[in-house]
Structure 1
Amino acid sequence: MRVEHASARLVHDYARGGTGMAADELWALEAHLEACGICRERLAAAVATEAPEITALLGAVRSDLDSRLDAAAPAPKRLRRRARLPRWATPVMVPWLAMTAGLTLIALLLDFLNPDFGEVSPVLLLAPALPLAGVAAAWSPGLDPAHELTSSAPRAGLYLLLRRTASVLTVLVPVLFAGGRLTGVTVAEWLLPTLAFTVAALALGGAIGVGRAAVVLGAVWAAVILAPALATQRTPLALRPDQLPAWALLLALGAGIVIARRGAYSVLRNPR
């Protein structure tokens, strides 16, 4: 496959500071440089000729850092283990994912103990809302100390948010699958509502922030689905098998909104 490289004009304009470049050109060039070693080499050569003062500054910083790093103590093993997390993940997600998986196991235990829940399955009731906590933690400015740094990177925005959301689902879906098999709930009954509700949180998050969207949808689920189901001890209408096409439609609609508003997830002045 033929790879398109950045033009010489773009590389030289970027080397001079990029002040005259359009925002979309600047973003596209930075995203390309992240994955293209050839263009990074061209940029390094351009910086040496177009901005020698930057080369001198980088050399001074490198020399200073080399001496400091040589004298620094090695990182503790615990921190080294954290460093092996995927570069698009954040350590703050780990306790939230553990908590969410724990809630799934508690729901499974309640289903087996079978207190007076009637025909309703706690696993089925909680499955759609469980990923919301992990999704909120994945892109919350208050929970991620490096949020402003990561959200301003070229590959941030929707790309990073989707990867972090996928990491949440990667952890939770196997747990829910096991819980569903043990309690007799079919995969489609919990998977479609779970995916639709997660995508709905992302779609609403493009307008009010992902964290706020997760809180709002969680409250709506508790008030409209969870509380009435526990009160009547019946499976709510929204979670019955004949409603699966409606969940599929909601999933498609939410995905369409996320794609159409993909630029909303990169806005720094109102962090998502």
Structure 2
Amino acid sequence: MSEIHVPEDLLTRYAAGDDLPEETLWVLEAHLDRCPDCRAGMAVAIEADPALPALVESVRATIEPRLGPGHGRLWQARHRLRRTLARWAVPAVLPWLAMTIAVPLAATLLEAAGPGVMPPLLLLVAPLAPMLGVAVSWNRWTDPAHALVAVTPQAGLTLVLRRTLVALLVTLPPVALAGLAVGASPARWLLPGLACTAVVLAAGAFVGVTQAAIGVTVLWSLAVVLPTLVNSADPVLLDPAATPGWLAVTLLAVAALTRFRNRFQLEGTSR
């Protein structure tokens, strides 16, 4: 079956900056991203309009002096590294991830300073760490370029999952090590933490990742943290007997995330 290409008149209108319907722009830009023939046709359409090459040249003349020399293997290696990292995370998110890690680590210091008969405080907040790390990695308040990224053809669940993986790799190791130091074994909170993260991602397809994280945090505080602080007893939801329930929650959330994965492209610009 032959590849379907963008009509020439539509390419000309797109190149000229005509006001096209939003759904047409989405399909057209996604197609241009993977079709070299249509990109070549786009170049022809640009060259056919005498005003567009002049505009491109004026923009290039303006920004070229600010781009630096751009020579040498070291510069090229740094440029490739930045491009690779940009596909997974953005530098602006790293301070927020550090703040996310600081919360459970502060709980660890409090536990080490005055251990009591209650369950370790870190055990109560550790399941929230990966979820909050995911929340700060995909929202318009922590990423200055979020609005630009969210409207690109490559945005959507794939990019969200990439940033989720980075957030988990950054937050889980230090929290796990801190848990081992104060008796909050990762075996007790890791699966609940992953379940909360999966629920946030699934709900984030409808209400936004940040709003979903806030909701899960409130529910966790009411269902686990406050009762534990009041009763000074091990939380039932972190008991090993609750493992099958958390596994079921994780699988259901992943299934819902897979089913509604396209909503991240529809909702991304407003989150």
TM-score, normalised by the number of residues in structure 2: 0.79
Q: Which amino acid aligns with 1:32?
A: R
| SS class of match (2:107) | helix
| SS class of match (2:61) | helix
- Tell me, yes or no, if the aligned pair for 1:131 and 1:194 is still in contact at 8 Å: yes
- 1:23 deviates by 5.7
1:121-155 Cα offsets, whole Å, 9 max, x none, are 22221111123332222222233322211110111
Larger CA deviation: 193-202 vs 130-139: 130-139
1:212 alignment counterpart: 211
- Tell me, yes or no, if the aligned pair for 2:206 and 2:267 is still in contact at 8 Å: no
1:42 has 2:40 as partner: yes
Unpaired segments ≥5 residues, structure 2: 15-19, 70-77
Q: Which amino acid aligns with 1:96?
A: W
- Tell me, yes or no, if the aligned pair for 2:156 and 2:264 is still in contact at 8 Å: yes
TM-score, normalised by the number of residues in structure 1: 0.78
Seen in structure 2, the aligned counterparts of structure 1 residues 42 and 6 have a Cα distance that, compared at 3 Å, is farther
Unpaired segments ≥5 residues, structure 1: 72-79
- 1:158 deviates by 1.7
- 1:67 deviates by 4.8
1:103 alignment counterpart: 103
Sequence identity (%): 31
Give the Cα–Cα distance (whole angstroms) in 2 for the partners of residues 11 and 111 of structure 1.
66
Give the Cα–Cα distance (whole angstroms) in 1 for the partners of residues 98 and 49 of structure 2.
49
Larger CA deviation: 51-60 vs 247-256: 51-60
What is the CA RMSD across the aligned residues, in angstroms?
Answer: 3.2
1:115 alignment counterpart: 115
- 1:259 deviates by 1.4
| SS class of match (2:6) | helix
Q: Which amino acid aligns with 1:258?
A: L
Give the Cα–Cα distance (whole angstroms) in 2 for the partners of residues 271 and 208 of structure 1.
10
Give the Cα–Cα distance (whole angstroms) in 2 for the partners of residues 237 and 70 of structure 1.
59
Give the Cα–Cα distance (whole angstroms) in 1 for the partners of residues 139 and 26 of structure 2.
25
| SS class of match (1:262) | coil
Name which of 52, 58, 64 aligns with 1:54. 52
| SS class of match (2:116) | coil
Q: Which amino acid aligns with 1:248?
A: L
Question: For this pair of structures, how many residues does the alignment match?
Answer: 254
| SS class of match (1:116) | coil
- Tell me, yes or no, if the aligned pair for 1:11 and 1:46 is still in contact at 8 Å: no
- 1:242 deviates by 0.9
